[in-house]
Amino acid sequence: MDVKQLLQTLTETPGPSGQESPIAQAVTTAWTPYVDLLMTDALGNLIGLKKGDGEAPRPRILLAAHMDEIALLVTQVLAYPDENGYGFLKVTKVGGVDTRQTLGQQVLVHGQRELPGVIGCLPPHLLPENRRSKPIGFEDMVVDVGLPYVELKQLVGVGDFVSFRQPLRELHNGRVAGKSLDNRASVAAVTVCLDWLRGRKHSWDVIAVATTQEEIGLRGAFVAAGGQQPDLAIALDVTWAKGPLAQDGGLTFELGEGPTLGYGPNIHPGIYKGLQEAAAAIELKVTPEGQPTLSGTDAAALQIARAGIPTGLICIPQRYMHTMVETMALNDIERTGRLLAEFIARLDGDFLNQLNKSLMDG
């Protein structure tokens, strides 16, 4: 599997939280060769089922990687200097958009048809002197697609989404940079896992889910877990990578040194142990990542869905999160997929009994 090519397709495809249809189509194409069934649910989650070879009824493991991305939303269509002039869009953020990173970006406006645009503001030369060194907010920025107001207002309305445009770029040393690696990298890792499982026997059914609306409240994970009712679940997401501007103290992790395994109240200790054992079996380095409270990932939703689901968490280190130059190591994505496949292949009929025992034993 060409992970870089897959990642390029996934990251360059739009999919704002709440309008994930384009990215769902791309994931459908990627997963079709590996699963027995594909479906979507009421919230737009894409669900792929890969059947195990155990005796029915088989236990089920759910893998959750969110496919939505941070984006913008149109709040106003402006005319300048009047309705006979040009049109501009005012926007607000969808999810955790870092306003500092927004100015000067290329975007795609999802109106009646897709419109390429840029985010601009007044240059410092035209600002009052007392404002030239102050932060720029959404109130100071507009999206400019180059159309007259009369035409723009027919194509774009309040509530339309605006996604960021950024190609995936290859850096040195096996690194890549671009937008939406949070969390399309995890979707790619699930795809790698499914590819590995084609050559491995596994007795459990695997439910791969590209979840929606994670960036605005983990909504897709709640719905997917409730609808699929798995016996256990593993969430995949990104975590903070080390760099010269990042704090340390155990909160950041090396690029290219493998994924992290979440551990804490949000994580079932039996699954954490099982992932450690799977990593050891294939001599793959993993690093514990303490999660003292809710992890801020789909794992937080999966764990408490319905009557509760034993949940694990695997994260891939990433620099510059929630920017247009998110940076990762390709081998971390590949290793995450292989770890998942090894864990799934090791699941047997006694795993759930041992899982319950591990919780009772503390």
Q: Where are the domains of the chain?
A: 3-69+179-361, 71-164
Q: What is the pLDDT of residue 51?
A: 97
- Out of 55, 83, 114, 214, the active site residue is 214
Q: Of the candidates 88, 96, 148, which has an alpha carbon nearest to the alpha carbon of residue 118? A: 88
Q: Which CATH superfamily is 71-164 part of?
A: Peptidase M42, domain 2 (2.40.30.40)
- Average the pLDDT over each of 137-151, 198-212, 244-258, 322-336 and give the range with the smallest value: 244-258
Determine the Cα angle at 111 with ends 119 and 140, to 5°. Answer: 25
DSSP three-state, residue 122: coil
Closest CA to 194 of 343, 68, 338, 291: 338
Tokens 């005012």 found at: 90
pLDDT score for 362: 53
C-alpha to C-alpha distances, 301 to 171, 249, 275, nearest whole angstrom: 35, 27, 20
* E-state strands within the chain: 37-40, 46-50, 60-66, 71-80, 86-94, 106-110, 114-120, 142-144, 161-164, 169-170, 175-178, 205-211, 232-240, 260-263, 287-290, 311-318, 326-329
Q: Bridge-partner residues for 169, per DSSP?
A: 177
Q: How much is the average pLDDT of 48-77?
A: 97
**For position 359, what pLDDT does the model report?**
63
State pLDDT tens for residues 31-46. Answer: 999 999 999 999 999 9
214 is catalytic: yes
44: tokens are: 């737009």
Say if residue 108's pLDDT is above 60.
yes
| Residue tagged 């975590």 (tokens) | 239
**Cα gap 169→180, rounded to integer Å:** 12
Averaged over 160-184, what is the pLDDT?
98
Confidence band, pLDDT 50/70/90 cuts, at residue 252: very high
Average pLDDT over residues 337-353: 95
Mean pLDDT computed over 81-91: 96
- 136-140, 211-215, 244-248, 312-316: range with lowest mean pLDDT: 244-248
Q: Which CATH class is domain 3-69+179-361?
A: alpha beta
Residue 168: the pLDDT is: 98
**How do residues 317-333 score in pLDDT, each as one tens digit?**
999 999 999 999 999 99
> What percent of the chain shows pLDDT beyond 70?
98
How many other β-carbons are positioned within 10 Å of the β-carbon of residue 61? 25
Cβ neighbors of 355 (< 8 A, separation 6 or more) are: 232, 268, 270, 271, 310
Mean pLDDT of the chain: 95
Render the burial of 150-171: b for 16+ CB within 10 Å, e for the rest.
Answer: eebbebbeeebbbbbbbebeee
Q: Give, for 226, the enclosing helix (H) or strand (E).
A: helix 219-228
Determine the pLDDT at residue 23: 98
Q: In the prediction, which pLDDT does 87 show?
A: 98
| Fold: same for 3-69+179-361 and 71-164 | no
pLDDT of 360 above 80: no
